[in-house]
Structure 1
Amino acid sequence: MGTGWATVRHRFPRFAGTFVAVFLGVAVVAGAATLHLSSQPQAPARYGQSPVLVTPPDPGTGQDSDRRAWTAREAAGLAARLGSLPGVTAAVADPWFYVQRLVAGRATGDAQAALVDGHSWSSAALGGYRLTAGRPPRTGGEVAVAGLSPGATTDVLTSAGPEKWLVTGTVSGPGFYVADHEAARRASGVHVIGLTLAAGAGEVGDGAGRAEVAAVRAEVGAEGVVRAGADRDSLEPDSVTRIRWLGAQLLIALVMLGAFATVFVVSSTCALSAAQRRRELGLLRAIGATPGQVRRLMYTETALIALFAGLLGAPAGAAAAPLLAEPMVGTGLEPAGFAVTSQPTALAGAILLGLVVALAGVAAAARRASRIPPLDALREAAADPRAMTPARWVAGPFCAVAGAGLLASVPALPLELRSTAGLGAAMLLLTAAALLSPVLIVPLVRVIARPWRNTAIGMLVRESTLTGVRRVASTAAPVLATVGFTVLLAGTVATAEAAVGIDESAKYPAGTLLVPDGTPGLSAAAVTAQGAEPTPSTRLLITHGGATTGVPASGSVTGPAGTGDGPAPGGEFLVLDRYTAAELDARAGDVVRVRFADGAVTSLPVRAVGAEVQVPVEMVRRHDPDALTRLVVLEEDAVAVPGGRFLPVQEYVREEVDEEGRLVDLFLVALIGLTAGYTGIAVGNTLLMATAARRPEFGALRLAGAGTGQVLRIVTAETLLAVLTGAVLGTLVAVISLAGIRAAFAAEVGAEIALVIPWTITAAVTAICAALATAAAIVPVLRRG
């Protein structure tokens, strides 16, 4: 321990690469973990005064997005029984429905939140909302709402179409509150029953509160799920949960990439350090140090550096987390109102993870260092160790053969597996290129340096590079991996977006579409105004053979057309898509159990297996009155309607692809940026240490008459040659892989797709690597000068 501490204290610059890598890794983990732990589900504010909520039973699909509903009659009966329990002052069903305010004919507010903005007046008590003026709504066309005075009128948009409502009361909270019978008519079932408790019942969690909850659970039984206290947070709206999920995916990706990159940088740094300390470590062996003591020395040094870096990095990451809250909300990765809170667990976990990751990175270098023979202490000079180790000779060709074989087999794989297999093949080929880089670099360097072979500096740079292949490979390999992954990821995303655009365009005939304009869908009135029949979308819970699954379905006007069966007669029927049919092991002719959005259950015959799930449109209207239509293909002259706009097919497809691509691009920028940063650390640290070790060589150049400027030009040229070699090799491998991925996408959509190579971002990443590498290489030369 004492020797390790003394080494770290007196030779801290030697460990700068490890320190920076662990510091950055711990900061990323601490910041990401703080953001993630601060973003926890919250019960909707409209249930703020309801400490106990009851929801329908779990549907058993394993998907959080699948939720059962009670029918209005079932909910009324259960609420009446719960309201009679001791300590319960009221049990109120909360049927919600879609409503959005219209201003100058345009829908306002959040489209997804509007899906649950309509409520019954009696449910206002669950949030503690009261009338500040006027009276409650009593009949159809009346509403109590915040921000408007009694007697005013407001234009709204519902699933039926535009309506004008009379404001009868002003409410102290958000939402549109209508008469109870109106809410029951408009809503698709009931998803929540809220309970208010007597003042003497106490808060849920103490003895009195627990007694009431136990009584409610006993009364509900298998008819529902009782959620009290923090359990109510699971009722957060799906739209908000999805936003949190998107943010969590980015944070998880950053943590995983940060941990992996830290291991990579620490491993390469320690390996180079061990190689440069062969005489020192050999001397320790000569005076009696055992291999185990040498290993422990390496572990101790790394652990001390990692602990120091972690203690500084964790607070830095936590301090940076609040600065990211607003950008994450603005980019749709966290819900509105998100705030960062103190998370000591995140800091402790980040420090511990940094220590573990650093020790994992030094493991291989420690093993090699323990095998250094004592005689190495007597060596005055040594040739550059062979660049290719036996492990590289085994793993490199294996990855190359496996990647090439997988890429060649892509055309024979099922369509849904081709793109994934192409990415896997690309990963293997990039790994092979990195492992075999000492072999591949030699001919590539000769080709790149050929134009300058007759100049003095060009000759020195080429021969120095070819002599120090291991040093060059240590610089080129991180650049190879970073540039290769950049080309691969960005190119795959761009190619996939092109494929999606072609596939989506093929679904619609050339012409114009009516699509939602600031709304979650099209109302029935918007569709019928175009002379078309509404085909609203709904969600079904389908059970067959003991298996249940939740699927989106559309209303069919013409009746089912299955695979080879042609049009079928009308009546009640169900068409399954191929995936759902396989999941339920159902086929045409089977009878399945279907639960609709309003909680009603019926048995339907499977008439066909086709491209999508369909039921008669009349059944959707009956069981999901709040359903909306996704879009309409116009066959006649367009009629302007609230909540809708007209777009040519190509423009609509481009908007859809751009909307999905926005988040993907954000992920790409974050991941590629972090990767480039770690690559800069790896390359910079390698060159800083390697160049410092070459001071005798530069001294010989000066004795031969070279000036400081000439030495700087030589070092800069060597560095740029190594970076360029890695970038060219990485780009070549990635482009070959992209060609296979492009072919897979083309086969999936049945159309030709252009190969998209992201030259701009590739050049930017290469330039960043070159700038960092050059700066790190010339610092020791300038300091010496």
Structure 2
Amino acid sequence: MSLAWTMVRHRFAAFAGTFVAIALGVAVVAGATTLWASSRPEVPARLAAAPVVVHSPSVGGGSDSYPRYRSWTAAEARALASRLVAVPGVRAAVPDPAFYVQRLIGGRATGDPDTALTDGHSWASAVLGGYRPTAGVAPRRDGEVALAGAAPGTRIEVLTARGPATWRVTATVDGPGFYVADATASALAGGVRVIGLSVSGDPARVAGEAATVAGADGLVLAGADRVRLEEEAVTRVRWIGAQLLIAMVTLGGFVAVFVVASTCALSAAQRRREIGLLRAVGATPGQVRRLLYAETLVVAVLGGAVGVPAGALAAPLLAPVLVGAGLEPAGFSVTTQPLALAGSFLLGVVVALAGAGAAARRSSRIPALDALRDAAAERRAMTAPRWVLGILTAAGGGALMAALPALPLTTRTTAALGAAMLLLVAGALLAPAMIVPLVRALTRPWRGSAVGMLVREGTLTGVRRVASTAAPVLLTVGFAALLTGTVATIEAAAGIDEAAELPATLIAAPDGTPGLSADAADRQPGVAELPTEVVMTVAGRASAYEATGKEGVNGILIGRDLPGPPPSAEVRFADGTTARLPVTGTHDGPPDLVTLPYDLVRAHDPSALTGSVLLDGPPVAAPGMKVLPVRDYVQGLLDEEGRIIDIFLAVLLGLAVGYTGVAVANTLLMATAARRGEFAALRLAGGGTSHVLRVTSAEALLAVVTGTLLGAAVAAAALLGMRHAVEAELDQRVDIVMPWSQTALVALTCAIVAVIAAAVPVLRARHGAGSR
């Protein structure tokens, strides 16, 4: 280790790329894992003061894997609360009927639409969040409300699932939410799913006895288990954010290995004489391997020591950005995560050693006679393993692309992406073999000039050096063009496809709300569907179903994929009531969707909101509603979905471009510094520093152009396959949307980094020569 430390200390410039790659990778992983570990489910604030909570029974999971629950009726909830309050240690058992409400200001809905779905509560349930009145009296009649930020006597405009209403504030409370009279809450919420318990003594003991009393009628949660009560909308936000953080960790680790491997390979190639000299004085292959591993370990420890605190400091700064982007819920904050930081440091060490593995094994086979070599020409630009892996990945990508027409429609897009990634990897592996003819073609117009000849011959002599620069550019340009082009093509095609499925010219859609109220939807001329959830019992088995209320339906319509339709089924609605309805037919939608009579859904789900209404006449204005053309409505939905995708693309491409910049800069810094003798000879032949800079800059640009062309070619081929897959899925013609601006920006960034990195050693050498 002492020799390794000495080598690193005296030749740190040669290890700078590895150090920066590890430091950056550890910082990314440390920051992302800290954010991920900090984003854990939390007990809803409205239930934080209830140490024991009883939830309505589960009926399994839905198609999205989230759990589904049946509701109690208001009478069932009161009866269960009466039994629970008799449990020793229970001071109070309070049902919490939650319902949708938003405040209207200037006729427009305010606040977060998702949060608003459960913002309304009964006055009695305010105690479950620990909220208390600071002024006024409790609401007792319909049209009265208690809330924060409004003085008693104030009149406010609100929007509920019924429609707009004017409420009088009777009390000011010290917590969020709208608290109304208990009877009003029961009418607006329909069913009840939560009963909070105020307890004295040990909550765990009380929870055990409460579970005995509740039996199959309720799920008792206490202490940390109450995080299962987190709202589904909040859990979805955390899940989306987690996917981005996981992608950052994965990409950071993968690219760090690539950069370290590239750096170590180039360093080992430049140190052949040095390693040959070690072999000549008796060093064994094992000792050479251990030396290279030890050097990498030293650099990894130093990089980790810088990256861990950088990631820990960056995480709190990124938290508000994630909240603003909708990738973390409001109120999210970062906490100290020692295990995440320690794991990031260890991962950096493992990644560094893994990246150095191939170079260490190859260096250990360098013969002692290489100590006598002084030729700049490379003996082999491609090793046998690289040929094998490159050909196999190219064949695999080509075969998968050719097999796309025979694959199921639902898997073609994914298969096309997989084929594209294989082709990109194949391009990076086979880059040295493709560079020679491409460089000859690109430099043909300038072969008569002195600079052109030097660039051409220098590039063809150092193919491996050029490939080390072109390969990361190839991967990044191809990755950028492929991902942005695929997303843009699919979004454009999906917009056309969805617009084609909507026959109306105009559509009434929510405006700052999660849906249209009954007042807004029922007054519109057109076809409306009312979404809800039901529990349907078929053949003695109860399962949760998504349901929609539709005009003209007289019974239950079930999916065609379900086994032979029964003559009738028992349905439990959102308000907890049950009814036996006849099964009158099937529909061609998803199997976990059922269609019910519209009026029946409206009667049994007071909080149901209509998604949109296709208009066939003049619209009637209503709060929380806007009217717009179908294409604009569809484009708005796509833009909302695309916003998250754009964030993912921006982060991942930023990481990829950053790592590419490190790889390109490090390769050119090392390669140019190693060619000082060559440039000194050029000066002796009459060339000045400007001539050397023109040569190095031209070589750097040539490498970037080569990588860009290869990456763009692979991405273009992959996008053609992607287009065929999308056309087959949508059964319509699809035009490829090429991301010219994004691709050009990535290539330009790589070119600027390459020119600067190639120029720095030349200018430093001139300065050093002048000072002597």
Note whether the superposition's TM-score is higher than 0.5: yes
Contact 1:112 1:520 in 2 (8 A): yes
Letter paired with 2:414: T
Equivalent residue, structure 1, for 2:117: 115
Q: Secondary structure, in 3 states, of the residue corresponding to 2:58?
A: coil
Letter paired with 2:150: L
What is the CA distance between 1:139 and its match in structure 2? 3.0
Equivalent residue, structure 2, for 1:732: 713
Equivalent residue, structure 2, for 1:187: 189
Contact 1:502 1:749 in 2 (8 A): no
Letter paired with 2:556: F
Letter paired with 1:368: R
Distance 2:421 2:584 in 1: 43
Letter paired with 1:236: E
What is the CA distance between 1:520 and its match in structure 2? 0.5
Contact 2:22 2:304 in 1 (8 A): yes
Distance 1:230 1:415 in 2: 44
What is the CA distance between 1:100 and its match in structure 2? 1.2
What is the CA distance between 1:622 and its match in structure 2? 3.4
What is the CA distance between 1:128 and its match in structure 2? 2.2
Letter paired with 1:610: D
Q: Secondary structure, in 3 states, of the residue corresponding to 1:375?
A: helix
Contact 1:475 1:723 in 2 (8 A): yes
1:455-508 deviation digits (Å, cap 9, x = unpaired) = 121122112212221111111111000000000000011011112201210121
Letter paired with 2:351: V
Of the candidates 575, 589, 593, which is equivalent to residue 558 of structure 2? 575
| 1:73-84 paired onto structure 2 within 5 Å | 73-84=75-86
Equivalent residue, structure 1, for 2:89: 87
User: Identity over aligned residues, as a percent?
Assistant: 59
Letter paired with 1:598: D
Distance 1:319 1:328 in 2: 15
Q: Secondary structure, in 3 states, of the residue corresponding to 1:334?
A: coil
Q: Does 1:352 align with 2:346?
A: yes
1:695–1:350 Cα change, 3 Å:
same
Equivalent residue, structure 2, for 1:16: 16
Distance 2:139 2:320 in 1: 39
Equivalent residue, structure 2, for 1:771: 752
What is the CA distance between 1:721 and its match in structure 2? 0.4
What is the CA distance between 1:595 and its match in structure 2? 4.5
Q: Which stretch of structure 1 is more off in the superposition, 658-667 or 395-404? A: 395-404
1:450–1:90 Cα change, 3 Å:
same
Equivalent residue, structure 2, for 1:152: 154
What is the CA distance between 1:331 and its match in structure 2? 1.6
Equivalent residue, structure 2, for 1:302: 296
Q: Does 1:252 align with 2:254?
A: no
Taking structure 2 as the reference length, the TM-score comes to: 0.95
What is the CA distance between 1:309 and its match in structure 2? 0.9
Q: Does 1:626 align with 2:607?
A: yes
Equivalent residue, structure 2, for 1:598: 575
Of the candidates 399, 407, 416, which is equivalent to residue 393 of structure 2? 399
What is the CA distance between 1:635 and its match in structure 2? 0.7
* Structure 2: tracts of 5 or more residues without a match: 767-772
| 1:32-43 paired onto structure 2 within 5 Å | 32-43=32-43
Distance 2:525 2:271 in 1: 82
1:672–1:541 Cα change, 3 Å:
farther
Equivalent residue, structure 2, for 1:322: 316
* Structure 1: tracts of 5 or more residues without a match: 202-207, 560-569
Distance 1:536 1:697 in 2: 77
Of the candidates 327, 330, 339, which is equivalent to residue 336 of structure 1? 330
Equivalent residue, structure 1, for 2:133: 131
Q: Does 1:433 align with 2:452?
A: no
Q: Which stretch of structure 1 is more off in the superposition, 129-138 or 759-768? A: 129-138
What is the CA distance between 1:546 and its match in structure 2? 9.4
1:13–1:491 Cα change, 3 Å:
same
Q: Secondary structure, in 3 states, of the residue corresponding to 1:60?
A: strand
Letter paired with 1:403: G
Contact 2:528 2:614 in 1 (8 A): no
Letter paired with 2:653: I
Contact 1:143 1:177 in 2 (8 A): yes
Contact 1:536 1:628 in 2 (8 A): yes
Q: Which stretch of structure 1 is more off in the superposition, 32-41 or 609-618? A: 609-618
Distance 1:497 1:729 in 2: 26
| 1:339-738 paired onto structure 2 within 5 Å | 339-381=333-375, 383-532=377-526, 534-541=528-535, 550-559=544-553, 570=554, 572-576=555-559, 581=561, 585-588=562-565, 594-600=571-577, 605=583, 607-612=585-590, 613=593, 614-738=595-719
Q: Secondary structure, in 3 states, of the residue corresponding to 1:535?
A: strand
What is the CA distance between 1:72 and its match in structure 2? 2.5
Distance 1:157 1:79 in 2: 30
1:257–1:550 Cα change, 3 Å:
farther
Q: Secondary structure, in 3 states, of the residue corresponding to 2:93?
A: strand
Contact 1:65 1:238 in 2 (8 A): no
Contact 2:203 2:223 in 1 (8 A): no
Distance 2:507 2:221 in 1: 44
Distance 2:677 2:212 in 1: 84
Distance 2:540 2:476 in 1: 49
Q: Which stretch of structure 1 is more off in the superposition, 541-550 or 484-493? A: 541-550
Of the candidates 174, 182, 190, which is equivalent to residue 176 of structure 2? 174
Contact 2:431 2:467 in 1 (8 A): yes
Distance 1:591 1:481 in 2: 58
1:374–1:599 Cα change, 3 Å:
farther
Contact 1:477 1:726 in 2 (8 A): yes
Distance 1:709 1:117 in 2: 69
1:691-734 deviation digits (Å, cap 9, x = unpaired) = 11212211221222211111110111011001101001100110
Equivalent residue, structure 2, for 1:205: none
What is the CA distance between 1:588 and its match in structure 2? 4.5
Q: Secondary structure, in 3 states, of the residue corresponding to 1:112?
A: helix
Q: Does 1:241 align with 2:217?
A: no
What is the CA distance between 1:368 and its match in structure 2? 0.9
1:704–1:641 Cα change, 3 Å:
same
Letter paired with 1:401: A
Q: Secondary structure, in 3 states, of the residue corresponding to 1:53?
A: strand
1:592–1:360 Cα change, 3 Å:
farther
Equivalent residue, structure 2, for 1:562: none
Q: Secondary structure, in 3 states, of the residue corresponding to 1:59?
A: strand
Equivalent residue, structure 2, for 1:567: none
Distance 1:279 1:602 in 2: 87
1:406–1:546 Cα change, 3 Å:
farther
Equivalent residue, structure 2, for 1:204: none
What is the CA distance between 1:246 and its match in structure 2? 2.0
1:601–1:281 Cα change, 3 Å:
farther
Distance 1:549 1:480 in 2: 51
